[in-house]
Amino acid sequence: MVPESVRRMLDDDLASRSLGMTLVDAGTGFAVVRMTVTDTMVNGHDIAHGGYVFLLADTAFACACNSHGPVTVAAGADVTFVATARRGDVLEARAEERVVYGRSGLCDVTVRRDDDVIAEFRGRSRTLRS
């Protein structure tokens, strides 16, 4: 069952919704988000712009981190692009928290097209004080 905190966050996330992202699954400390690469997401090399791949991973990361309830934001993130994605590709980002310590955490996200890894993302989170 998708945590209410994740539903509320995504309901207010116009950026992710406007790119056609959909939440496939979420629970405590994990999330799966899907997006299709559209014509407007392709760069001058006719491949998906890395910023859109990063945004997909970041959205899955946000869903996983916010599954506990308190507002949690990114403190930083790194991405490694492994393969290119193209117009029409359906990308799926799977986020999984690795550790939460105090108000901080680490979360890994793998972006795939079918069985092909497109990118690996590691996010560092911070829960805001109320």
Task: Say which residues have a Cβ less than 8 Å from residue 7's Cβ, sequence separation at least 6.
Answer: none
pLDDT at 12: 95
Beta-bridged to residue 74, according to DSSP, are: 125
Which candidate, 22, 23, 27, 19, places its Cα nearest to that of 1? Answer: 27
Residue type at 35 in one-letter notation? M
Calculate the alpha carbon distances from 75 to 28, 72, 82, 104, 122 in Å.
20, 9, 23, 9, 11
Q: What is the pTM of this model?
A: 0.96
DSSP secondary structure code for residue 114 in this structure: T
Rounded CA-CA distance 95/128 in Å is 20
Q: Which top CATH class is 4-127?
A: alpha beta
**pLDDT for 16:** 97
- Quote the pLDDT of residue 108: 98
Rounded Cα–Cα distance for residues 52 and 14 (Å): 15
- pLDDT the model gives residue 65: 96
Q: What would the two tokens of residue 111 be?
A: 């972006």
Domain residue limits, the chain: 4-127
pLDDT, block means (10 residues), the chain with 130 residues: 92 96 97 98 98 98 96 97 98 98 97 98 94
Cα 35 to chain centroid distance, Å, stands at: 10
Buried b (16+ CB within 10 A) or exposed e, 17-50: eebebebeebeebbbbbbbebeeebbeeeebbbe
